[in-house]
């Protein structure tokens, strides 16, 4: 939990925004990273090449 707070706090400072917005930005970044790493269920369901 401390690590996540530090990441959000760093965004708070970097973006010069409030903590809530920094937390949202952090969450969206994590979702994006997960989608890049694992794809989406529709991507795999429609993949006919493999």
34: in domain: yes
Q: Which pLDDT belongs to residue 20?
A: 98
Q: Cα(26)–Cα(46) distance, rounded to whole angstroms? A: 29
pLDDT band of 34, cuts 50, 70, 90: confident
| Domain housing 9 | 2-45
33: in domain: yes
Q: What is the SS3 assignment for 1-50?
A: CHHHHHHHHHHHHHHCCCHHHHHHHHHHHHHHHHHHHHCCHHHHHCCCCC
Number of domains in the chain: 1
Q: Which pLDDT belongs to residue 47?
A: 57
- Model pLDDT for residues 8-29, shown as the tens digit of each residue: 999 999 999 999 999 999 999 9
Q: Cα(40)–Cα(37) distance, rounded to whole angstroms? A: 9
Residue 12 · residue 20 · CB < 8 Å = no
């Amino acid at each position: 939990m401390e690590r996540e707070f530090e990441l959000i706090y760093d965004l708070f400072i970097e973006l010069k925004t409030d903590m809530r917005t920094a937390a949202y930005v952090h969450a969206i970044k994590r979702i994006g990273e997960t989608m890049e790493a694992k794809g989406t269920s529709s991507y795999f369901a429609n993949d006919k090449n493999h």
